[in-house]
Structures are given as C-alpha cells and as structure tokens.
Amino acid sequence: MKSSVIVFPGSNCDRDVAVALEKFKIKNHMVWHEESILPKSDLVVLPGGFSYGDYLRTGCIASKSKIINEVIKHSKNGGLILGICNGFQILIETGLLPGTLLRNKKLRFISKNVFLKVENVNNVFCKYYKEKNLIELPIAHNEGNYFANKYLIEKLEDLNLIAFKYCDREGKTENNSNPNGSSNNIAGILNENKNILGMMPHPERMIDPYLSGEDGSILFKSLFESLLK
C-alpha cells in the first residue's frame, strides 16, 4: 500500500494529506513536480493548495508539470488517483476528468463545513460510506463551481460517476444547499473506470474525532482496505 503525494510550487495541503495517509497506514512518498519518475505507487494524490499561485487558470500550469506525464501513465495502467481541491482542478486541466471548475457563483472564497451526500459507494474511494452516506466535510476554495454541458451532466448522472453532491443536513440536494453554484450540486466526480476521484471538499481535514469529526477518515479507510487486496 504505497502512495505518492505530488508537491507543486504553491501546494499547501500536501502535508495534511500525507498525515492522513500515514494515519491510515498507507506508506507515502512526497514527489516534487520536477521529478520524471514516479515511485511505485498504488495511489497518487494531487493535493490542495494554490499551485503556481492559481496564475493563468487554477490547475493549468501544474497540469503541464514534468511529473504529470507519469501520473497520466499511472492512471492508464489502472492506478488510483485522488485529486482534492486544487488537485481536482489539476485533474480537470489534464483532461483526466471532464468538465470545468468555474469561480464560485458569488465570486468569493468559501471556507466552511458543508454536508455531502455520497452518491456512489461502489468504488474504492467511497466503499465504506455505505454505512454513512450523509457526511460533513470542509470546503475552502475560490473555483469550485463545477460546470459542464447538459449532455455531460446527464452522462455523469446516468453512469453514476458523481461521487459527492452538496446537500443540507437532511440530505436534500437543493439549490439552497449548493455553496458555489455547481451544476447538479456536484462536489466530486469519478472517471468511467472509477480509478480517479476529484473532489472539492477536504477529507484530510476531518480525520480527528477531537478536532472536527471523522467523516474524512472513512475515505482513507476505504482506500487502505481496497489497496490491501
């Protein structure tokens, strides 16, 4: 069970996610973006932050990094990839996930805890959300407004590729529980092979019952169990 966290200039959740991975017994390597070889990994994580200061377009410059070619190869071979927040934005820019992430509807940064409905539990990331599919995680982003044309949205819905949707505390996914204007309240999506997950919320910030809760732990436990096999 090995993971690699890619560190870009401006990444700032790299340490946090490494702490989470290690807490759940996944042996992790930090990999600098200029590397051309990816250490043997079952899972690659693109962490949150402001890679390249969000200049040009969020995730855009990072998607052209040297290591990204290796990350793409890794995905083609069926390796797992998790992109959180800026990592999700990078996945979109590399084309590994479809759609786009626009600025939040109110054009303001949003940092708060949100409720999420886990829409797909039949994947290695979300397996253990079977028992608890209404969860709470923090979001902290400026560009998390998922947008795609209606055919793509329909496809995501039909193929059950939406992993998380923003909802209220009762689990209703309505407009008033949508923090950033995302189409269909989308907070995270999977690729068709379900080996890539991109999500705006931060599971790595919810791994301590004392601090805030453990709804993020479930994702890392699912990953650990899946990687065991």
Q: Does 52 bind another protein (CB under 8 A)?
A: yes
Q: Does 187 bind another protein (CB under 8 A)?
A: no
Under a CB-based contact definition with an 8 Å cutoff, are residues 198 and 173 in contact? Answer: no
Q: Which is nearer to another protein, 50 or 115 (CB)?
A: 50
Among candidate residues 33, 74, 141, 202, the one labeled active-site is 202
Stretch of 65-73, 125-133, 151-159, 197-205 lying at the interface with another protein (CB under 8 A): 197-205
Under a CB-based contact definition with an 8 Å cutoff, are residues 42 and 82 in contact? Answer: no
Q: Does 50 bind another protein (CB under 8 A)?
A: yes
SS3 46: strand
Site for another protein in 5-44 (CB under 8 A): 9-10, 12-13, 15-16, 19-20
Q: Does 142 bind another protein (CB under 8 A)?
A: yes
What's the farthest any 2 CA atoms get from each other in the chain? 46
Known catalytic membership, residue 60: no
Q: Which is nearer to another protein, 194 or 202 (CB)?
A: 202
| Among 189, 148, 193, residue whose Cα is nearest residue 165 | 189
Under a CB-based contact definition with an 8 Å cutoff, are residues 113 and 138 in contact? Answer: yes
Q: Does 151 bind another protein (CB under 8 A)?
A: no
Per DSSP, helices labelled H in 25-140 are: 66-76, 86-94
Tell me the C-alpha distance between 36 and 87, whole Å. Answer: 19
Stretch of 76-84, 120-128, 150-158, 199-207 lying at the interface with another protein (CB under 8 A): 199-207
- Tokens coding 178: 């949508």
Q: Does 109 bind another protein (CB under 8 A)?
A: yes
Under a CB-based contact definition with an 8 Å cutoff, are residues 141 and 106 in contact? Answer: no
- Tokens coding 155: 């496809």
Among candidate residues 13, 85, 126, 167, the one labeled active-site is 85
Q: Does 204 bind another protein (CB under 8 A)?
A: yes
Which residues bind to another protein, rule: CB under 8 A? 9-10, 12-13, 15-16, 19-20, 48-50, 52-55, 108-112, 138, 140, 142, 202, 204-205, 207-208, 210-212
